[in-house]
Amino acid sequence: MSFMLAALLQLISPLIAESPAPAPAAEKVNTAIVPAERLKIDGWKKRHEAILKKLDPATEIVFLGDSITQGWEGAGKQVFADSFAPWKTLNQGISGDRTEHLLWRFANGELEGLKPKLAILMIGTNNTGHNQQPAAETAAGIEKILADFHAKCPGAKVLLCSILPRSAKPEDKKRILNDEINKLISAFPSKMDFVTYKDMNALFLDKDGVLTKEIMPDLVHPKEKGYKIWADALVPEIKKLLP
C-alpha cells in the first residue's frame, strides 16, 4: 500500500466510523383505531350536531354505523317504521364514516347521557372501500369501537352485524376484504360477553354468491328490499336480547 493511500485511509476512517446508523423504519399506524373527525365536511358536521341534539336517556336501541345505517332514514324509512316501532330508537349512522370516525364521535358526546339496552352496530365497509385497508386493521377498529362503547354504556348489549357484501361477484377484492373482516369479528363474542354476532350476508346473495342490483343498486347500499331483509334478520335477535 502506498504511503499516500495509507494516509488517506487514516483521514477518512474516523468519518466512516462516526457515520450514523440508518434510522429504523417508522412503525405503520393502524388508522382504523385512531379517532378522527370530519368536521370540515359540512354535511358530516351537521349530522353529528343533529345527533347530539337527539340524545335521550329513554333511548332503548341505538343504531351505529355509516351510510348504510343512516339509510334507515332514506330507502329503509318505511321498513324501519314498520319493524322497530315497539322500541325507542336513535339512528347514529353517518355517511362515509370509517371505524375511526365512529370512535371520534364516541369521544365527542354522541353517547353522553344515553342508557340504551342495545346497540346495533355495522361498520367497516368504508375502510375497505376508501383505501382497501387490511382486514385485520379494520377488525381492530371494530373491536375498539365495542370496547369504547361498553366503557360508556356498560349496561348495554351489542348486536354486531356482519359487514354487508359489496361488489357483484364473490371474487372481487373488496368483497373478499369484507368477508375476511367478518370472519375476524365473528370471534368477538367469545371474549366480549355483551356482544352477539349476526351473519346476514347469505340473505343478500343469490345461489351463486352474486349480489344483484335488485338488492343494492350500487352494489354497496341496500334499496328498500335490502332493508327489509336486514330488518327481518334483526327483529328476532332484538326480541331475544331485550326482555
How far is the C-alpha of 107 from the C-alpha of 25, rounded, in Å?
31
pLDDT of residue 122: 98
The grid coordinates of residue 118 equal 342495545
CB 215 within 8 A of CB 226: yes
pLDDT digits (tens, 9 = 90+) for 146-188: 999 999 999 999 999 999 999 999 999 999 999 999 999 999 9
pLDDT digits (tens, 9 = 90+) for 35-90: 999 999 999 999 999 999 999 999 999 999 999 999 999 999 999 999 999 999 99
- What's the CA dihedral at 14, 16, 17, 19 to 10 degrees? 120
pLDDT of residue 18: 52
Active-site residue, from 48, 101, 150, 221: 221
User: Who has greater pLDDT, 15 or 210?
Assistant: 210
Active site annotation includes 150: no
Quote the DSSP letter at residue 163. P
| 92 beta partners | 64
Active site annotation includes 218: yes
Contacts of 184-191 spanning 24+ positions with Cβ under 8 A:
184/135, 184/136, 184/139, 185/124, 185/139, 185/142, 185/143, 185/160, 186/162, 188/142, 188/143, 188/146, 188/160, 189/160
Active-site residue, from 67, 172, 186, 199: 67
CB 44 within 8 A of CB 105: no
Active-site residue, from 19, 150, 218, 232: 218
Among the residues of the chain, which ranges form H helices?
A: 3-17, 42-53, 67-70, 77-84, 99-107, 125-131, 135-152, 173-185, 224-241
Active site annotation includes 221: yes
Structural domains of the chain in order of their starting residue, each with its CATH number: 39-241 (3.40.50.1110)
CB 152 within 8 A of CB 177: no
141 C-beta neighbours (distance < 10 Å), count = 26
pLDDT digits (tens, 9 = 90+) for 94-118: 999 999 999 999 999 999 999 999 9
